[in-house]
């Protein structure tokens, strides 16, 4: 799935669209996606000017966006949805992420009840685990908002 397909589902735009490509997708089960980390991203001006490190909160947000893509593409296609990030559990950061890295996200559905999702989320750089945790999200019909 390329960036145009991602943008057709996610409402996020620059500077908060944090997914560049979906590599693998299995409806209702799992997704694998990537984000290229570049020095041109605005958060590196302040985090930190002499030692740029991607903020952990943005890594978690990127994982949540990947989960949102899985939920959107697993939902009924006869209505439009918004996805709300509803929870974070047990997130751990293992290594810093810096410009030039390529983040690979792997999310697996642990549980699904209707439009409520729970994911096991992991982020890797060069096959090394840099972040992991459990995320929950909910799809809400646009007509209900």
Write out pLDDT tens, residues 87-106: 999 999 999 999 999 999 99
pLDDT value for 80: 84
**Strand bridging mode 30-36 / 102-113:** antiparallel
- Known catalytic residues are 47
Out of 33-37, 74-78, 97-101, 118-122, which region has the weakest mean confidence (pLDDT)?
A: 74-78
| Position 142 pLDDT exceeds 90 | no
CATH of domain 3-144: 3.10.129.10
Distances (CA, A) of 82 to 42, 51, 73, 94, 96: 26, 36, 12, 31, 31
Coil, helix or strand at residue 82: strand
pLDDT in tens, 47-77: 999 999 999 999 999 999 999 999 998 888 7
pLDDT value for 4: 96
């Amino acid at each position: 799935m390329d960036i145009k397909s991602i943008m057709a589902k996610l409402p996020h735009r620059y500077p908060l669209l944090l997914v560049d490509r979906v590599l693998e997708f299995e409806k209702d089960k799992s997704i694998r996606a990537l984000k290229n980390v570049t020095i041109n991203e605005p958060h590196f001006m302040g985090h930190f000017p002499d030692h740029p490190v991607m903020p952990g909160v943005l890594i978690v947000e990127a994982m949540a966006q990947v989960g949102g893509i899985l939920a959107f593409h697993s939902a009924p296609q006869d209505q439009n949805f918004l996805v709300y990030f509803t929870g974070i559990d047990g997130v751990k950061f293992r290594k810093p992420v810096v410009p030039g890295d390529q983040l690979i996200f792997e999310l697996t559905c642990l549980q699904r009840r209707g439009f409520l999702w729970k994911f096991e989320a992991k982020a890797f750089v060069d096959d090394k685990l840099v972040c992991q945790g459990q995320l929950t999200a909910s799809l809400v019909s646009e007509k209900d908002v």
